[in-house]
Amino acid sequence: MAINVNTVYTTVLTILNKEQRGYLTPFEFNNVANQVQLQIFEKFFEDYNQYIRMPKTDVEFASRMDHIREEFQVFEKTGPSVTIPAGGAQTDNVYNQPSDLHRFGSASWNKGVNSPPIEILSNRDYNQIKLSPLTQPTNNFPVAKYQQDKLTVFPDSSPYASSDVTFNYIRKPSLVRWGYYVGGLGQFIYDPTVYGEGLLNNDASILPSISTNLSATAPSVVSTVVEPGVTTGVTIVKANAAATGLKLNLAITLGSGITTLSINIPGTGYSIGDTITFAGATFDPNGGGAGIPGANAVCTLAAGNFNGSSTYGSTDFEISDSMQTEAILEILKYAGVVIRDPQIIQAASQELAQDEVNSKR
C-alpha cells in the first residue's frame, strides 16, 4: 500500500511547527518529497544486492529477500519496444527501449520458439561469435548489442515489428504531488482527487471561462447540477467524441446571469477549447424582452481548467507505507530540522550505524 501524500505533508508541517522551523510550501514539499522517494527507491537495489550475498531464511514475514522484492515489484514492468517516431513502423533490427525504462532487466525474442531470452553481448564478443557458423545467432538463440538505449538484435530477420522484443524492466516512481486550491482566506486546501494532466480540476469554478453570459431578466432562479448532453438546453462541443461524465454546478441569478459554474464531476477525455453552451431559450426565455429569448451563455475550457496547468490533483508516494517513517524523517532533514545537542547526535549516529550493520548480516 502506498503512502498517502497528505499524511506525510501534514505530519511534516506539524513537526516543523513544533520545532519552530518555519514552513514548507506545497511547491517545496513536492520537490523534496520527490527527491526523498527517489533516494529510498534507489536504496532498494543496493539492499537487494547485499541480501543476495547473505544467509537466507524462508520463515514467513522474516525473509529479507521477500521483503525487498515486495518493495520494488510494483515498479517492475514488461512491454514491447517503442518505434520512433511514435506510431511509426519498425524498419530494422534496432529496437528502442520503453520510454519509462529506468533499470534494464532482460529481454526476450518473440520470433523464437517460446520467446527465448536475448543474450546481451559486447561488440567484441559479438564479433567473435559471428566468425563461426556453429555460434551464429538464430531465432531460438538470439543475441543483442545494448547501446544508446537500443537493442540491436541478431539474427537480423525481416519483417520487423516493435513487438518482436519484450523488455522486462524497472520504471521510476511517479512524481509525488500534493495538489491543492486556494481558499477564501488564502490558505492551501488539499485536493484528494488523483492527478491527471488532462483531467479537469475537481470542484473548481469555470465561471471565468464564460465568454458570453445570459442576461437573466426572466423571473426565475435556477440552482442545479447539470450534465451536458443530458440536461435540456445544455450542449458541449468536444474534440474527443469519447469524452464523457462531466457534471457542473450551475446557478443563475435574476439580473446577473450565471453566477455559479463549477465542476461537480470532472469526467474524462475533455480538452482545451471544448465549449459548453447554455441555451438562452431554455435558461433565459425572456432575456431579450417581449418574449425574445436571451443570448446563449458560452463557456470555453481553458488550460487553467485542467490539472496540468494548475495546482489541482494529487499523487501519492509509490513506495510502500512501511517506508513512511523514513520518508518523513528524510524530508525533515532536507527541511533543516536538526538536533543541536552533540551527545544526542552521537548516540543517534551510533544506533543508526548498528542498525545498518545488523540489517546487512
Q: Are residues 212 and 282 in the same domain?
A: yes
Q: Are residues 203 and 253 in the same domain?
A: yes
173-191 average pLDDT score: 93
pLDDT score recorded for residue 358: 64
Locate the DSSP E strands across 194-334: 210-212, 222-226, 234-237, 247-253, 257-265, 275-278, 297-300
pLDDT higher than threshold 70 for residue 357: no
Residue 123 C-alpha from the chain's centroid: 37
Q: Are residues 293 and 203 in the same domain?
A: yes
pLDDT score recorded for residue 13: 92
Distance CA 15, CA 332 (A): 8
Name the band, by pLDDT with cuts 50, 70 and 90, for residue 356: low
Is 16 within a domain? no
Among the three residues 171, 206, 236, which one is the final residue of a domain in this structure?
171
Residue corresponding to grid cell 533543516: 336
Is 185 within a domain? no
Q: Are residues 161 and 202 in the same domain?
A: no
- Give the strand pairing for 234-237 and 188-190: unpaired
Q: Are residues 207 and 154 in the same domain?
A: no
Phi, psi of 142 (to 5 degrees): -80, 155
Name the band, by pLDDT with cuts 50, 70 and 90, for residue 351: low
107-125 average pLDDT score: 94
H or E segment to which residue 248 belongs = strand 247-253
Give 46-59 pLDDT, tens digit per residue: 888 888 887 777 77
Name the band, by pLDDT with cuts 50, 70 and 90, for residue 224: confident
95-112 average pLDDT score: 93
pTM, whole model, 2 decimals?
Answer: 0.81
Phi, psi of 244 (to 5 degrees): -160, 165
Is 105 within a domain? yes
Query: How many other C-beta atoms are found inside a 10 Å radius of the C-beta of residue 65?
Result: 14
pLDDT score recorded for residue 276: 93
- Start-to-end CA span in the chain (Å): 27
pLDDT score recorded for residue 59: 79
pLDDT higher than threshold 60 for residue 341: no
Residues 6+ apart with CB under 8 A from 268: 199, 243, 244, 245
Is 360 within a domain? no
Alpha helices in the chain (DSSP H): 5-18, 26-52, 64-72, 123-129, 280-283, 324-334, 342-359
Is 353 within a domain? no
pLDDT higher than threshold 70 for residue 133: yes
Q: How far is residue 125 from each of residues 108, 122, 133, measured CA to CA in Å?
A: 19, 5, 15
321-338 average pLDDT score: 85
Give 192-217 pLDDT, tens digit per residue: 999 999 999 999 999 999 888 887 77
pLDDT score recorded for residue 89: 87
Domain total in the chain = 2
Q: Are residues 165 and 205 in the same domain?
A: no
pLDDT higher than threshold 90 for residue 272: yes
Q: Are residues 136 and 211 in the same domain?
A: no
Residues β-bridged to residue 107: 167
Among the three residues 288, 309, 330, which one is the final residue of a domain in this structure?
309
Distance CA 203, CA 350 (A): 50
Among the three residues 309, 330, 352, which one is the final residue of a domain in this structure?
309
Q: Are residues 105 and 203 in the same domain?
A: no
The range of the structural domain enclosing residue 276 comes to: 196-309
Q: Are residues 203 and 294 in the same domain?
A: yes
CB burial of 247-283 (b: ≥16 within 10 Å; e: otherwise) equals: bbbbebeeeebbbebebeebbebbeeebebbbbbebb
Per the prediction, the chain carries an average pLDDT of 87
pLDDT higher than threshold 70 for residue 291: no
Q: Are residues 204 and 280 in the same domain?
A: yes
Name the band, by pLDDT with cuts 50, 70 and 90, for residue 93: very high
Is 153 within a domain? yes
H or E segment to which residue 226 belongs = strand 222-226
The amino acid occupying position 285 is P
144-160 average pLDDT score: 92
Q: Are residues 204 and 106 in the same domain?
A: no
Name the band, by pLDDT with cuts 50, 70 and 90, for residue 78: very high
Is 13 within a domain? no
Is 335 within a domain? no
* Of residues 197 and 63, more confidently modeled: 197
Q: Are residues 237 and 280 in the same domain?
A: yes
